[in-house]
């Protein structure tokens, strides 16, 4: 028996080098033992160096699927993982189809372990919560997170946090090893006990109020929620302390939501409309040259009757923000609250947007925010009925295409350098084409526009996040929105 000593429990490079040397030496799986430094393995094994390469052994090769599977499997906490990998590697030299043989015991095991590690990485992304612990002498904020992974996933999973929180200084402390990012270098250190992690701070309150805000009692599926967010993680999540109370109140709140009267009683809506009656009624779009400023546009938009959507709505909702903002966000259409107030993004979707912007340190008031369609489209509550809310209805492609006259003019007047399409209706309005958000996310798309050179960044609409019932998936989607907006703001 020959022992190969690895530097760490997830030392993939060490395993790879050792396994290659053992193969070249012609060692059978039962003759090799992998031990992790400091973990006491291989106490009784022969620690003599590996035999030299055997000239009759051909250099090993592997199918390309093996390396990523091995990288994941090395992170598994089963002590047999290195031996399994070496056995597979050894067998692959005689049978390159082995990884395709799902019924093979070793192939089955590596796939199961890789899947378990992937799940652990996924939990890490969803449940790591940084707490502010202090500042460096130059004022850079420092954050620490305590997390309890099932496997040795910290090293593998830390790249994600480097990309996401590149400008922060942070540490992820775990009982299976720690990672540290100082804005330039990612380093790793030994495990620490939980007592080294800070208990709470101001971010805690932020998480709690965010979580309570996105918690929709009508979508509560307790079992699904607990399987997606296992109780094991609850004690490290600030928002988890709210869960039992929210579940208890959920049924009550759900009935209250169903029973609630329209957001504003009909009479109130009619009164509001009177206030919003325009001086000029526009049966069609105005002459472009008469709209020279955003004030002209707002005044003219008030009287827009260019499509039937004006009729049930309270008022047209123009964009809002600095007249020459370098960046413009385009939503779909005003919601219930926006329709009543005459301002875009002041309801729940706007709250998500503002929360995300302040989290990435950007003042929402520096952004011009507007919509593809300027009137609220909804299911009108039957006259005289109570207990019904005005329910948002998606605008049709025809309505979006028709209304984009206003958006185009807004772009010409504001002349932003970057436009962020929040969801599919905005993409349609900006490009004249219907595209899937998934396919368009993650880059800047040049747009030809009379306003000048323009880059479009596409992301999900914030209300998409509000519709996701499982908290950790909602959080993932929110992190995606953060990434996309951070990218757009960096352009």
Print the binding letters for residues 335-364 with ligand URA: x by CB under 6 A, - otherwise.
x--x-----xx-x-xx--------------
In angstroms, the Cα distances linking 406 to 51, 399, 435 are 77, 12, 21
Span 286-305, contacts to ligand URA by CB under 6 A: none
Q: Quick one: 20 or 298, whose CB is closer to ligand URA?
A: 298
Rg (CA), the chain: 29
| Residue 295, token pair as written in the block | 């004030």
| Residue 12 within binding range of ligand URA, rule CB under 6 A | no
Residue 48: count of CB within 10 angstroms of its CB: 9
Q: Which of 149, 238, 331, 416 binds ligand URA (CB under 6 A)?
A: 331
Closer to ligand URA by Cβ: residue 181 or 345: 345
Q: Kindly tell me which residue out of 3, 174, 315, 371 binds ligand URA, with binding defined by CB under 6 A.
A: 371
Residue closest to ligand URA (Cβ)? 331
Find the shortest distance in angstroms from Cβ 409 to ligand URA: 18
Residues in the chain: 491
Nearest one of 228, 210, 122 to 469, comparing CA atoms = 228
Q: Distance between CA atoms of 338 and 209, rounded to whole angstroms?
A: 22
Q: Which stretch binds ligand URA (CB under 6 A): 101-109, 133-141, 233-241, 328-336?
A: 328-336
Q: Is 332 in the site for ligand URA (CB under 6 A)?
A: yes
Q: What is the closest distance, in whole angstroms, from the C-beta atom of residue 317 to ligand URA in the complex?
A: 7
For residues 469 and 225, the answer to whether their CB atoms sit within 8 Å is yes
Residues between 108 and 167 that touch ligand URA (CB under 6 A): none
Q: Is 321 among the residues that bind ligand URA (CB under 6 A)?
A: no
Q: How far is the CB of 434 from ligand URA (least distance, A)?
A: 16
- Minimum CB separation of residue 352 from ligand URA in Å reads 10
Nearest distance from C-beta of residue 349 to ligand URA, angstroms: 4
Per-residue contact track with ligand URA, 21 to 50, x per CB under 6 A? ------------------------------
Is residue 334 close enough to count as binding ligand URA by CB under 6 A?
A: yes
Segment contacting ligand URA by CB under 6 A, of 53-61, 196-204, 306-314, 329-337: 329-337
Handedness of CA 223, 225, 230, 231 (dihedral sign): negative
Q: How far apart are CA 86 and CA 70, in angstroms?
A: 10
Do residues 85 and 68 make contact, with C-beta atoms less than 8 angstroms apart?
Answer: no
Contact 172, 165 (CB under 8 A): no
Report the site for ligand URA in 447-466 (rule: CB under 6 A): 463
In the complex, the smallest distance separating the C-beta of residue 377 from ligand URA, rounded to whole angstroms, is 11
Question: Which phi and psi angles does 95 have, rounded to 5°?
Answer: -145, 100
d(CA 374, CA 316): 5
| Minimum distance, C-beta of residue 430 to ligand URA, in the bound complex (Å) | 13
Choose the stretch contacting ligand URA; rule: CB under 6 A; options: 27-35, 103-111, 156-164, 325-333.
Answer: 325-333
Stretch binding ligand URA (CB under 6 A), from 191-199, 222-230, 269-277, 331-339: 331-339
Q: Closest approach of Cβ 464 to ligand URA, in Å?
A: 10
Contacts of ligand URA in 182-211 (CB under 6 A): none
Q: Identify which of residues 331 and 381 has a Cβ nearer to ligand URA in the complex.
A: 331
Q: How many residues bind ligand URA (CB under 6 A)?
A: 13
Closest contact distance (angstroms) between CB of 376 and ligand URA is 9
Question: Based on CB atoms, which residue is closest to ligand URA, 350 or 471?
Answer: 350
86 or 378: CB nearest ligand URA: 378
- In the complex, minimum distance from the CB of residue 426 to ligand URA, in angstroms, rounded to a whole number: 8
Residues in region 258-277 near ligand URA by CB under 6 A? none
Region at 38 (left for phi over 0; alpha for psi -120 to 50; beta for the rest)? left
Pick between residue 391 and residue 453 the one whose CB is nearest to ligand URA: 391
Smallest distance, ligand URA to C-beta of residue 328, A: 13
Site for ligand URA in 379-438 (CB under 6 A): none
Closest to ligand URA by CB, 149 or 334: 334
Binding stretches for ligand URA (CB under 6 A): 331-335, 338, 344-345, 347, 349-350, 371, 463
């Amino acid at each position: 028996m020959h022992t190969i000593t690895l530097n760490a429990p997830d030392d993939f490079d060490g395993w790879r080098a050792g396994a290659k040397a053992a193969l070249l030496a012609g060692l059978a799986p039962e003759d090799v033992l992998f031990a992790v430094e400091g973990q006491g393995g291989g106490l009784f094994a022969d620690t003599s160096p590996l035999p030299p390469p055997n000239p009759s052994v051909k250099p090993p090769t592997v199918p390309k699927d093996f390396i990523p599977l091995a990288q994941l499997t090395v992170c598994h906490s089963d002590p047999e993982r290195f031996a399994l990998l070496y056995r597979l590697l050894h067998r692959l030299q005689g049978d390159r189809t082995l990884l395709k043989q799902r019924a093979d015991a070793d192939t089955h095991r590596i796939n199961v372990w890789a899947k378990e590690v992937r799940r652990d990485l996924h939990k890490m992304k969803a449940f790591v919560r940084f707490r502010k612990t202090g500042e460096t002498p130059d004022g850079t904020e420092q954050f620490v997170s305590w997390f309890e992974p099932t496997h040795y996933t910290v090293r593998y999973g830390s790249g994600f946090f480097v990309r996401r929180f590149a400008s922060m200084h942070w540490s992820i402390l775990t009982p299976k090893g720690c990672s540290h990012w100082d804005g330039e270098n990612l380093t790793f250190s030994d495990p620490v006990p939980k007592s080294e992690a800070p208990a709470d701070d101001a971010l805690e309150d932020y998480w709690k109020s965010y979580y309570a805000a996105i918690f929709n009692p009508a979508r509560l599926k307790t079992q699904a929620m607990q399987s997606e967010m296992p109780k094991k993680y609850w004690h490290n999540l600030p928002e988890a302390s709210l869960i039992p109370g929210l579940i208890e109140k959920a049924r009550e709140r759900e009935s209250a939501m169903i029973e609630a009267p329209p957001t504003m009683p009909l009479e109130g809506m009619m009164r509001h409309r009177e206030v919003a009656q325009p001086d000029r009624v526009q049966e069609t779009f105005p002459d472009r040259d008469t709209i020279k400023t955003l004030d002209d546009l707002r005044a003219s938009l008030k009287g827009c009757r260019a499509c039937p959507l004006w009729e049930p709505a309270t008022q047209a909702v123009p964009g809002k923000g600095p007249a020459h903002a370098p960046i413009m966000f385009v939503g779909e259409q005003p919601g219930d609250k926006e329709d009543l107030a005459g301002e875009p993004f002041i309801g729940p979707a706007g709250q998500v947007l503002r929360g995300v912007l302040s989290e990435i340190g950007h003042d929402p008031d520096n952004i011009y925010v507007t919509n593809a369609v300027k009137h609220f489209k909804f299911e009108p509550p039957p006259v005289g009925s109570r207990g019904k809310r005005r329910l948002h209805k998606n605008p049709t492609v025809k309505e979006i295409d028709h209304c984009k006259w206003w958006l185009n003019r807004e772009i010409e007047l504001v002349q932003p350098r970057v436009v962020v399409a929040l969801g599919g209706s905005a993409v349609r309005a900006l490009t004249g084409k219907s595209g899937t958000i998934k396919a368009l996310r993650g880059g800047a798309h040049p747009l030809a526009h009379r306003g000048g050179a323009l880059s479009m960044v596409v992301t999900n609409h914030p209300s998409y996040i509000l519709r996701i019932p499982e908290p950790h998936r909602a959080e993932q989607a929110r992190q995606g929105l953060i990434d996309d907006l951070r990218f757009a703001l960096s352009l």
